[in-house]
Amino acid sequence: MESVGAFRIFERSVLKRELQYIEYHGDGDSKAFLKVKDIYGEDTVTKLECIGHVQKRVGLRLRKLKKKTIGLGGKGKLTDKFIDKLQNYYGIAICSNVGSIEKMQSAVIAAFFHCCSSHQNLKHEQYPNGEDSWCRYKRALFDKKQYFEKSPGLPNSVMKVIKATYLELCDKNLLKNACMV
C-alpha cells in the first residue's frame, strides 16, 4: 500500500505540477523506494534515510551478532546497555557532522573507540585534540590535568569481533544518505 501511494505521488508530480522529485525520504527497508527510484528514468531518485533509522541499525546488527556469537555477551563484555551507548554515540557523531561525509565517518569511528576505551586500555588516538575536543581525556591532556577513565570499556577480544560489523555501518554510501529529518 505504501509503495502504491509513493508511486502515485511521484507520478502525479509531473502531470499536475510539472516537477520531479529527486529525493525520497524513507526508512531502511522501504519497498516504496524501489517503486519510485526509476520513475523519471534510471536512478533519478536518491534515497535519504532519517538519522534515527540509520542509527537503529547499529543496535540491531550488534544485538544480532551478540545473539549469534557464543561468549560475546555478558558482564564485562557486550551488553545491551553498551550497545545502546554505541548506538547513541553513533547518532551523535552523524548529527554533529552533517554536510561532511569524511568528518562524519571519522567521528563515527572515533565514537567506537571512545566507547570501547577504558583506563587500562586507552583508545583516544582518533579524537580531536585541544580544549574544544568532545573527549574529556583529550581536554585533560590539553589542560595538563589528570583524567581517570571511569568506563569499563570492552576487552580487545570483544572489540575485534564487533569492529567489522560496526565499521560496515561507517560506509560512506550509507552515511551520505543519512539526513536530518
- CA torsion sign for 165, 167, 171, 176 is positive
Task: Report d(CA 136, CA 60) in Å as an integer.
Answer: 29
The predicted structure's pLDDT at residue 60: 94
Its pTM stands at: 0.77
Which set of grid coordinates corresponds to residue 142?
590539553
- Judge residue 106's burial from the number of C-beta atoms within 10 Å of its C-beta, 0-12 exposed, 13-18 middle, 19 or more buried: middle
Task: Report d(CA 10, CA 5) in Å as an integer.
Answer: 9
- Residue closest to 169 by CA, chosen among 70, 79, 91: 91
From first to last of the 181 residues of the chain, give the pLDDT tens digit: 578 888 888 888 888 888 988 888 777 666 888 888 888 888 788 887 778 888 888 999 999 999 999 989 988 899 999 999 999 999 988 888 888 889 889 889 988 988 887 667 666 666 666 676 667 767 776 777 777 667 778 888 999 999 999 999 888 878 877 765 4
